[in-house]
Amino acid sequence: MSTTPHRLWYPRPARAWLEALPVGNGRLGAMVYGGTATEELQLSEDTVWAGGPHVFDNPGAREALPEIRRLVFAGEWDAAQRLIDAGFMGIPVKQPPYQTVGSLRLAFPAGEDDEGGEDGGVSGYRRELDLATAVHAVEFSRAGVRHRREVFATAADQVIAVRLTADSPGAVTFTAAFGSPLATGTSSPDAATIALAGRGEDSGGVAGRVRFTALARAVAEGGTVTSRDGELRVDGADAVTLLVSAGTNYVSWRDLGGDPRARADRDLAAAGSLTYARLRERHVADHGELFGRADLQVPATAAAVLPTDERIAGFANGDDPQLAALCFQYGRYLLIASSRPGTQPANLQGLWNDMTDPPWGCKYTININTEMNYWPAGPANLLDCWQPLFDLLRELRESGARTARDSYGARGWVAHHNTDAWRGTAPVDGAFWGMWPTGGAWLAMSLWEHYRFTGDMAALREHYPVLADAARFFLDTLVEDPGSGHLVTCPSVSPENAHHPGDGGSLCAGPTMDGQILRDLFGAVDAAGRLLGIDEELRAGARAAARRLPPMRVGALGQLQEWQQDWDAQAPEQDHRHVSHLYGLHPSNQITADTPELFEAARVTLEQRGDAGTGWSLGWKINFWARLADGDRSFKLLSDQLTPERTAPNLFDLHPPFQIDGNFGATAGITEWLVQSHTDELRLLPALPGALPEGRVRGLLARGGFEVALNWSGGALAEARVTSRLGRVARVRSAADLEVESGDGSPAAATRPAPGLLEFPTRAGADYVLRPRR
């Protein structure tokens, strides 16, 4: 099978933000339009937020809590909601938003045959984003001159680099200037540089305290460069390298004592000491080390050569399976570009935002969206990209401890359904959405998942306090349900869904999702503490509490109940986008084929909810159906997502509007077609769609410390290569009856403890080849 390059490409410039293409180094990003008469780089820096360090916790919350609980248990939900909104919600009730830096705009002189329009006099136009190199390129001819521009955001050197060349001497001429809705001034610091200064806005009474600086410097080969009054001018150059840097005063969620100009100056000076060739070489190597760890190839049809937006429009026709592979790699590209060690985590739009008040504040919504952003980190072999989330969790442990103490009178830490740059952990946005205390617990499970993939004891020891304190909060705040005797969260909600019409009809005690998350959290703390040889008292408390959590129940319609009570049939939105109670199916492993009644109830639930949904909801359903071993239904959900209604021309996922979580959910779901390991077995091709009968993948990671490569043909496994990183016993399940040998060709000892299951010991660093028995 020939290798297909993973590229997005278009025969025209972007006409809108959702047609522009993203570059990013985790901290600094740009949306590149690729114009001919003008070029725009819309800029983002991950610490430019409105507001500033702030205590969101409501001082009256702890006093109000007993009455809120009484009202919820009494079924007086409207009264409970009024009390929560008045006395328990965070202050202010909305967290500040993530904000844009602004744009760097380049203007080019009109050619002799250019009538002034964007495409006037232009021929041979092409713009593309090469995912393997993370380089954006534009080429076109005008007035007999072939022009080329390259743009990349380098993590190695912390700038955005723009290279402008032409095949005729002296043909590179342009002006450049910054613009921003947050600008406090523009200037020309020297003869080759322009500067933008700005400040984040006030928000909900919280003063805007983030200050930022962006710089752009031109390094020309031939011609002249001048800078005056905030405008940069290049005349008659053979080639130009334009370097863009940015810095803010954000040091941490509590400290805005940094010097934005010093940060921007330092990065610009360091990058400016390198040639463009060296900058590009360092960038491609740095990005490629991450991106090249995994690849998916399926046969390309004629549709694979079409422009990307045309492929999206035609994907439902079923003749472009390679677009699924591009979707997989695009999600990996976006995670690399928006989440690197030392940066902020990927938010609702990853890194890219052109607004001062973006949808949902472009925050960290932790009732699904932020978790979904990081689902590919383990299986798609991007473990390094998880680190910003772990840093966020460490900081939430601190801010959430104050919320736990002041709002609940509890030990440990808590975070509700949203957080932000200031690590707000109080409930926000109103009781209907915000009165959910389990967001931090779900987010913290990523720490245990990291251990399951890596076996890294040092990291587990570092992460354990976050898990342990998350458990301590619930050991202190779970209360006995007077109706059932179970330990439950109260007050809580099943995220963003209502069980009864009316203002308070979302509030409840012990929704199914809470019990599932806490069962996982308590189990992880018990297992991690045992591995580390610590905290027997906490572990015993976690085991005891887990036994008293409400069980998952099957309702009268055959569905998995979303609440303790069988309220599903009367819920106002039968096709609700959140399917929170199937957390137990994915990402958890509490519902599997080994729990057949619950497994079937999960299937019934998905049938009842239907396949419609927002972009990110479709992303979750791709994973649900893969866990149900129905690859064709899962692929159908990807097809529903990859339509112009749910996917922008630049492949960004649309809620609508744009939310990046659907991109990451789709990438994770594609890994679930090929390798599953949530039950501590390696399941090979457990949900392969019929639309992908031929293909190969390499570099997928599995829990237990394994790396997997697969070839398949005719819809069946042809060969698998399993690399053991930890030397643990491999348990491999496949539809084919497999035999195994060591990578060097020698036999490998194996047993078959159950039909379809192959078990064999491994050595750390060794490869094992599995093939169907002849």
Rg of the Cα atoms in the chain:
27
CA atoms of 257 and 244, how far apart (whole Å):
23
E strand spans, 410-461 = 418-419
On the question of pLDDT at 414 being above 70, the answer is yes
DSSP β-ladder status, 730-733 and 757-760: antiparallel
Q: Report pLDDT for 501.
A: 82
Provide the H-helix boundaries in 628-660.
631-641
- Beta-carbon contacts of residue 349 (< 8 Å; ≥ 6 apart): 98, 358, 362, 658, 659, 660
- Contact between 374 and 331 (Cβ < 8 Å): no
- Contact between 159 and 151 (Cβ < 8 Å): no
User: What is the signed CA dihedral for 664, 669, 670, 671, rounded to 10 degrees?
Assistant: 100
User: For residue 116, what pLDDT band results from cuts at 50, 70 and 90?
Assistant: very low
Q: Name which of 254, 311, 250 is nearest 98 in CA terms.
A: 250
The DSSP secondary-structure symbol of 467 reads H
pLDDT 10s digits, 124-152: 999 999 999 999 999 999 999 999 999 99
DSSP β-ladder status, 682-684 and 730-733: parallel
pLDDT 10s digits, 236-278: 999 999 999 999 999 999 999 999 999 999 999 999 999 999 9
CA atoms of 399 and 497, how far apart (whole Å):
27
Q: Which amino acid is at 61?
A: A
Average pLDDT over residues 446-471: 98
Handedness of CA 484, 486, 492, 494 (dihedral sign): negative
Q: What angle do CA 542, 543, 544 make, to 5 degrees?
A: 90
**Mean residue pLDDT across the chain:** 96
Average pLDDT over residues 576-598: 97
pLDDT 10s digits, 667-720: 999 999 999 999 999 999 999 999 999 999 999 999 999 999 999 999 999 999
Residue 490 — φ and ψ, nearest 5°? -165, 125
User: For residue 555, what pLDDT band results from cuts at 50, 70 and 90?
Assistant: very high
The pTM of the full predicted model, rounded to 2 decimals, is 0.97
The DSSP secondary-structure symbol of 723 reads E
Q: Report pLDDT for 3.
A: 67
- State how far Cα 61 lies from the chain centre: 32
Residue 744 CA: distances (Å) to CA of 118, 279, 521: 59, 40, 41
Report whether CATH 1.50.10.10 matches the domain 61-91+339-610. yes
CA atoms of 221 and 223, how far apart (whole Å):
7
Q: Report pLDDT for 111.
A: 52
User: For residue 4, what pLDDT band results from cuts at 50, 70 and 90?
Assistant: confident
CA atoms of 264 and 268, how far apart (whole Å):
6
CA atoms of 404 and 469, how far apart (whole Å):
10
pLDDT 10s digits, 320-345: 999 999 999 999 999 999 999 999 99
CA atoms of 75 and 706, how far apart (whole Å):
49
Q: What angle do CA 221, 222, 226 make, to 5 degrees?
A: 95
User: For residue 503, what pLDDT band results from cuts at 50, 70 and 90?
Assistant: confident
How many CB atoms within 10 Å of residue 687? Answer: 24
* Burial (Cβ within 10 Å: 0-12, 13-18, ≥19) of residue 767: middle
Tokens linked to 139: 């080429």
CATH topology of domain 695-772: Immunoglobulin-like (2.60.40)
On the question of pLDDT at 115 being above 50, the answer is no
On the question of pLDDT at 617 being above 80, the answer is yes
The DSSP secondary-structure symbol of 407 reads I
Q: Which CATH number is 7-49+97-292 given?
A: 2.70.98.50
Q: Report pLDDT for 764.
A: 96
Q: Report pLDDT for 118.
A: 56
- Contact between 418 and 92 (Cβ < 8 Å): no
Which residue's structure tokens are 């348990």?
731
Ranges of each domain in the chain:
7-49+97-292, 61-91+339-610, 695-772
The DSSP secondary-structure symbol of 202 reads P
Q: What angle do CA 463, 469, 473 make, to 5 degrees?
A: 150
User: For residue 743, what pLDDT band results from cuts at 50, 70 and 90?
Assistant: confident
User: For residue 112, what pLDDT band results from cuts at 50, 70 and 90?
Assistant: very low
Provide the H-helix boundaries in 292-429.
308-314, 322-338, 369-373, 387-403
Q: Report pLDDT for 514.
A: 98
pLDDT 10s digits, 230-242: 999 999 999 999 9
On the question of pLDDT at 113 being above 60, the answer is no
* Burial (Cβ within 10 Å: 0-12, 13-18, ≥19) of residue 302: exposed
